[in-house]
Amino acid sequence: MIETSKKGIKKMKKILIALLIFTLSIGLVACGNKDSEVTTDEVVTTTEPVEDGTIAPEVDENTVGGQHWAAFVEEKTANPDITAEELANKLVTLSINQFMGGAMPIEEGLLSGFENYEVKGFESGAMFAPMIGSIAYVGYVFDLADGADVNAFISGLTENANPRWNICVTADQTVVGAIDNTVFFLMCPETYEMPEMGEGEEEIGGEVETEAVETEEVAEATTAVATKAETTTKAPAKTEAPVETTTVATTKAPVVQEVVVKPVSTTEPVVTTTVATTTVAPETTVVVETTKAPAEVTTPAVNITAPKIDGDSVGGQHWNAFSSAKLANPGATAEELANAAVSLPINQFMAGTMPIEEGYLSGFENYEVKGFESGAMFAPMIGSIPYVGYVFELPEGADVNAFMKGLTDNANVRWNICVAADQTVCGAINNTVFFLMCPESYDAPAEGGDMGGMALD
């Protein structure tokens, strides 16, 4: 009896030890999982494909990401042949996105938001994002080939996405899904509402203390006018005037017939030619050849208000590109001139241009920019680069200097929250105004220096 009870006690001890080890192992695994979790507020997983070919993310439909996914499904379902870029444009222009956004086609390779991961395996695609600002928002639409492994493609995106790609802020949501072979991907805030601030916390993304920044005064810049006076030249006639045929009826007596020949241009003086004829047979044709008087041609004035700036700096090279394009093609549109500036090889980032209307524009502190007929904005598609530019076309007779002064007086070089622009460049050619805030250089700053000249890999 005693031996049996001892054996029972030993057996119970073994069972208890085994249970203890099992409990500890579960705890260790749980802790390990917590350390490896993604730091975003919401990690969105996908379900297995359902019968209609949809891979749906598990996301709250009231969040920013949820509303984008719903819009994607609606547009793709209504128009199965819609292109990736068309879909991207639909998504970035949703009413909840209170920012100027844009979409652009992409190719396989390194894409913003994916560390050092090359995104491959799609036939066509488009990126959509804010045109400027430190908003944790970047999205893609990918069209995969028939027979592609959609789940594997999605896994590659989710495993390599970095919610902190935007340096200053972190995306709350990573939303990924697909309808057939079209994949939707978005990293974004969960809401655009301002978070409640705890005691001792600083508000980031709201009120930002601005610093007084010395900018070059437009008044001084207006002294650098390349050509202001009108130049009047007389263009010699290069071709002979057309021959005019005058029929003169005559009698036996000598007849003097006065023929008046008027040049084509109404500004040219009238040339009067008097032809004396003798007695000839009735209905004789007299041919009178005249030459056109030299016409006065007035070349239009070119008024250039040039900024005082180092031509080798980032801003200087942009001004040179703008002025060269404008002088070479005076009829170029604002968007064409904006493209000429932003496509400079020194800009090693994905950029875009878009037409603008009067009102509040990025980079101006509570200032409504008004008084232009048409305009275009140019900027990086994504990232915390202190760079934003505009081209404005003003109406005839507009006060160009007053318009430029309004821009420079109200520009905020720290509009991008995290970094500040080094240069504010403002100039004009006739009624076309150029404005840019940018780094002075794209070289890496010295240790402990300003981040205005952000290094680009």
pLDDT one-digit tens code per residue, 295-337? 555 556 789 999 999 999 999 999 999 999 999 999 999 999 9
Rounded distance, CA 78 to CA 315, Å?
46
Nearest to 427 by CA among 320, 300, 285, 336: 320
Rounded distance, CA 71 to CA 90, Å?
8
pLDDT surpassing 60 at residue 348 = yes
> Can you tell me whether residue 275 is helix, strand or coil?
strand
Rounded distance, CA 71 to CA 94, Å?
8
Helix (H) or strand (E) holding 410: helix 400-410
pLDDT one-digit tens code per residue, 438-454? 999 988 654 444 434 44
127 vs 5, higher pLDDT: 127
Structure tokens that stand for 240 in this block: 């002979």
Q: What is the mean pLDDT of the chain?
A: 73
> Can you tell me whether residue 388 is helix, strand or coil?
strand
pLDDT surpassing 60 at residue 112 = yes
Nearest to 88 by CA among 70, 102, 109, 106: 102
Least confident of 7-11, 110-114, 345-349, 361-365: 7-11
Rounded distance, CA 283 to CA 241, Å?
25
Rounded distance, CA 326 to CA 449, Å?
36
Cα–Cα distances (Å) from 182 to 6, 88, 188, 417, in that order, read 69, 12, 20, 35
Rounded distance, CA 57 to CA 179, Å?
11
Q: What are phi and psi of 409, to 5 degrees?
A: -70, -25
Task: Identify any residues that bridge with 188 across adjacent strands, giving them in sequence order.
Answer: 173
Question: For residue 101, what pLDDT is reported?
Answer: 82
Least confident of 143-147, 188-192, 213-217, 353-357: 213-217
Cα–Cα distances (Å) from 251 to 29, 254, 280, in that order, read 126, 7, 8
Cα–Cα distances (Å) from 32 to 21, 155, 222, in that order, read 17, 22, 66
DSSP at 176? E
pLDDT one-digit tens code per residue, 362-393? 889 889 999 999 999 998 876 668 899 999 99
Give the contacts of 294 (CB within 8 A, at least 6 positions apart): 234, 235, 236, 237
Structure tokens that stand for 244 in this block: 């005019």
Find out whether 418 and 450 touch, Cβ atoms under 8 Å. Answer: no
Q: Give the confidence band of 90 by pLDDT, cuts at 50, 70, 90.
A: very high
Question: For residue 195, what pLDDT is reported?
Answer: 55
Percent of the chain at pLDDT exceeding 70: 60
271 vs 163, higher pLDDT: 163
Give the contacts of 252 (CB within 8 A, at least 6 positions apart): 279
Find out whether 454 and 425 touch, Cβ atoms under 8 Å. Answer: no
Give the contacts of 354 (CB within 8 A, at least 6 positions apart): 100, 102, 131, 335, 376, 377
Least confident of 43-52, 171-180, 383-392: 43-52
> Can you tell me whether residue 160 is helix, strand or coil?
helix
Question: For residue 12, what pLDDT is reported?
Answer: 52
Give the contacts of 396 (CB within 8 A, at least 6 positions apart): 431
Q: Is 429 exposed, middle or buried (0-12, 13-18, 19+ CB in 10 A)?
A: buried
> Can you tell me whether residue 276 is helix, strand or coil?
strand
Rounded distance, CA 386 to CA 349, Å?
12
Nearest to 65 by CA among 116, 138, 168, 118: 138
